[in-house]
Amino acid sequence: MALTRTSHTRDDYSAAAPSDIRQRNRTAVLRAIYPNVWCSRAELSRITGMSKVSTSDVVAELIQDGLVTEGGYQNSPKPGKPALLVGFNARSMNVASVDISEADGMRGIVTDLAGDVLERDQEPIVEHMPLRTTQVVEFCERLVARAHAPVLGVAVATPGTVDEREGVVLAAPNLGWTDVELAALLRDRLGLEATVANDADCALFAERCFAQGSENMMLVQVAKGLGAAMLIGGNVVQGADHAAGEIGHVVVDDDGPQCVCGKRGCLETLVSTPVLERRIAQEPGHRDDVVADAGAILGRALAMPVAMSNISEVIVAGPEDVVDDGMARVVRDTINDMVRSRFIGAVNVRRSQLGADAAALGAVAFVMRDQLRIL
Ligand SMILES: [Zn+2]
């Protein structure tokens, strides 16, 4: 799996206690070699700006932890003993990740630290509304038991608004949850670090980390409703109420259909899976027109936030029967027609390539960001 590194603006290295310096040095070495760069200790010293002695100490510590491994020797035209290369050991630890955003059940994966899936499992959600947290915790527990290596952390991708720093699901109407302290529950029960994040944020971060997504990117998820997530300068935007990206209930047509929220013409009354599937069933001969109309509505709705944030890439995710390349093209053309100017270049719009694992993979990437600071 191809990986790209995200920006490193998240860290604040200003307070330099000894433990911080140690962590900073470990992070610098891991970032230099993640996911598959092999280099000598001397090269690492040059890349990180650390002294040769510090570099050797940190590398020795990381080798002891299993995160770094020694490989072959460097080909060098210079005489003398060739330098031994070190690289990242992606198999040294695993991450267990669960996506609970799908209506039909929970989807779980166990991956290595490169995001390669080693194990997968699924479990139907028996008792909806509210979903029992013990069902999620026990599913995570079973995944952890199937890990091939020590587990760095567990992660859950959930629908709804989430305080991702605290791991609290603030409101997830589809699960019947309010203020569920899921990360704390997982930590207590499993004795492992836990990350809980919104499913669209996860899918977005997966595109960034595992599919060469841009640092300034938006992901729109066409599902039962419509949600979005945004990455600015490599950081997932959370917003004042942890609700950034909740664009489904923004009115785009004053005379539009009545929405469940009480308003008329919300974006998701015009662009969502059930609405589009119903329209296609009504006009089977005009499927492409239905999808193109939806793409144009979506493109117009996204033009302003795209320009406002100077987003360079938009990813449209959703079931293939409605979200196809044709829709992505119409979204792209609509946005570019509306936004392009001498200040703003062409915006790239594409469909998600990560399939059904996207949210769970993004949750894995959040664990690596939080625990190793390498993404
Ligand atoms: Zn609404």
* pLDDT value of position 17: 82
State the distance from the centre of ligand 1 to the C-alpha of 195, rounded, in angstroms. Answer: 29
Give the C-alpha separation, 198 to 182, whole Å.
Answer: 12
254 and 265 Cβ atoms separated by less than 8 Å: yes
Burial class (CB in 10 A: 0-12, 13-18, 19+), 183: buried
Look at 344 and 3; give whichever has higher pLDDT: 344
| Helix, strand, coil abundance in the chain, percent, nearest 5 | 40, 25, 40
CA of 266 to the centre of ligand 1 (A): 5
Eight-class DSSP state of 214? -
- Distance (angstroms) between ligand 1 centre and the Cα of 112 equals 40
Determine the distance separating the centroid of ligand 1 and the alpha carbon of 65, expressed in angstroms. Answer: 50
260 Cα to the center of ligand 1, angstroms = 6
- Listed by start position, the domains of the chain span 18-90, 93-204+358-372, 212-352
Query: How far away, in angstroms, is 175 Cα from ligand 1 center?
Result: 18
* 157 touches 97 (CB < 8 A): yes
Q: What percent of the chain has pLDDT over 70?
A: 95
**Tens digit of each residue's pLDDT (9 = 90 or more) over 322-366:** 999 999 999 999 999 999 998 989 999 999 989 889 999 999 999
- Check pLDDT > 80 for residue 162: yes
CA of 320 to the centre of ligand 1 (A): 24
Write down the pLDDT at residue 125: 79
Q: Give dist(CA 77, CA 98) in Å, integer.
A: 49
Distance CA 144, CA 367 (A): 14
Pick the range with the lowest mean pLDDT from 14-23, 78-87, 172-181.
14-23
Task: Determine the pLDDT at residue 6.
Answer: 52
Compute, in angstroms, the gap from residue 319 CA to the centroid of ligand 1. Answer: 21
In CATH terms, the superfamily for domain 212-352 is ATPase, nucleotide binding domain (3.30.420.40)
Residue with more model confidence, 11 or 130: 130
Q: What is the mean pLDDT of the chain?
A: 92
Distance 102 CA to ligand 1 centre (A): 21
Class of domain 93-204+358-372: alpha beta
| Ligand 1 mean position, distance from CA 239 (Å) | 20
Question: Cα–chain-centroid distance for residue 76?
Answer: 40
Distance 261 CA to ligand 1 centre (A): 4
Digit-coded pLDDT (tens) for 125-142: 776 678 899 999 999 999
Distance 259 CA to ligand 1 centre (A): 5
CATH code, residues 18-90: 1.10.10.10
CA 17, chain centre distance (Å) = 31
Contact partners, residue 191, CB within 8 Å, separation at least 6: none
Pick from 66-80, 283-297, 352-366: least confident: 66-80
CA 308 – ligand 1 centroid, Å: 23
- Give the single-character DSSP code of 283: -
- 46: number of Cβ within 10 Å: 14
Q: How many angstroms does the Cα of residue 235 sit away from the middle of ligand 1? A: 28
Instruction: Report whether pLDDT(5) > 60.
Output: no
179 and 190 Cβ atoms separated by less than 8 Å: no
Please indicate whether the domains covering 93-204+358-372 and 212-352 agree at the CATH topology level. Answer: yes
What are the tens digits of pLDDT across the range 237-288?
Answer: 999 999 999 999 999 999 999 998 999 999 999 999 999 999 999 999 999 9
Comparing 207 with 9, which gets the higher pLDDT?
207
d(CA 177, CA 343): 44
- Is residue 306 within 8 A of residue 273, CB to CB? The reply is no
Distance 178 CA to ligand 1 centre (A): 20
- Of 48 and 8, the structure prediction assigns the larger pLDDT to 48
Q: What pLDDT, on the 0 to 100 scale, is given for residue 4?
A: 61
Q: Residue 11 pLDDT more than 50?
A: no
- pLDDT at position 81: 78
Between the CA of 253 and the centroid of ligand 1 the distance, in Å, is: 11
Q: Residue 93 Cα, ligand 1 centroid: separation in angstroms?
A: 43
* 80 band by pLDDT with thresholds 50, 70 and 90: confident
CA of 357 to the centre of ligand 1 (A): 28
